[in-house]
């Protein structure tokens, strides 16, 4: 009496092929994500190194990448005395700027201010940098129509300096 077992072998080969293809796609996607994040991680590492070498920054709490007319990398942390500082480093190797966080608007306050003024805006991120030689928060959000909007607030007093709305 002969029994047929060929059908299950074909199913097993198909299953193995499908699992192999899914695994290959996952490996490729993971590699692409890692490579896409490398420039940000490198900029962060270099900015932290510069901030610690040129200031008395001891701990790092946050990192911002700010792009406007120029690119700035900002490292936020505490100095040896426990005071919170932001070290704003120009990409173009100009002079760094140090601001005391106690003397200006916090990230949360900047986000909240934009949210209050623009309740339909979905806040995506905030970044601390320099614009026209003054420290500013750039708050980015997505409008109800899907456009991206940028709000530039003065670090010192929270006043709106510039707004860019997409169409």
Convert the pLDDT of each residue in 24-65 to its tens digit.
788 777 777 766 667 778 888 888 888 888 898 999 999 999
Domain count, the chain: 1
In a domain, 153, yes or no: yes
- Mean pLDDT for the stretch of residues 94-112: 93
For residues 34 and 30, give the distance between their C-alpha atoms in angstroms, rounded to a whole number: 6
In a domain, 89, yes or no: yes
Residue 42's pLDDT is what?
A: 83
User: Dihedrals φ, ψ of 130, to 5°?
Assistant: -120, 140
Q: What is the CATH number of the domain that holds 60?
A: 3.10.450.40
For residues 135 and 159, give the distance between their C-alpha atoms in angstroms, rounded to a whole number: 12
Residue 95 belongs to what domain range? 35-165
In a domain, 13, yes or no: no
Computed from CA positions of residues 140, 136, 129, 90, in that sequence, does the dihedral angle turn out positive or negative?
Answer: positive
Convert the pLDDT of each residue in 66-83 to its tens digit.
988 899 999 999 998 999
In a domain, 28, yes or no: no
In a domain, 7, yes or no: no
In a domain, 9, yes or no: no
Read off the tokens for 104. Answer: 């200006």
Residue 4's pLDDT is what?
A: 52
Q: Which residues contact 101 (CB under 8 A, 6 or more apart)?
A: 76, 84, 85, 86
In a domain, 2, yes or no: no
In a domain, 23, yes or no: no
């Amino acid at each position: 009496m002969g029994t047929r077992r060929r059908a299950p072998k074909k199913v097993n080969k198909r299953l193995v092929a499908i699992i192999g293809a899914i695994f290959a796609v996952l490996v490729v996607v993971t590699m692409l994500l890692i490579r896409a994040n490398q420039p940000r991680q490198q900029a962060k590492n270099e900015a932290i190194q510069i901030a610690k070498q040129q200031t008395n920054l001891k701990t790092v709490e946050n990192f911002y990448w700010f792009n406007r007319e120029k690119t700035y990398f900002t490292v936020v942390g505490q100095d040896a005395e426990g005071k919170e500082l932001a070290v704003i480093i120009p990409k173009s190797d100009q002079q760094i700027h140090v601001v005391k966080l106690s003397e200006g608007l916090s990230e949360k306050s900047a986000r909240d201010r934009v949210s209050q003024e623009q309740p339909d805006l979905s806040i995506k991120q905030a970044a601390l940098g320099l614009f026209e030689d003054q420290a500013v928060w750039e708050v980015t959000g997505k409008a109800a129509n899907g456009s991206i909007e940028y709000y530039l607030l003065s670090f010192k007093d929270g006043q709106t300096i510039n707004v860019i709305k997409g169409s």
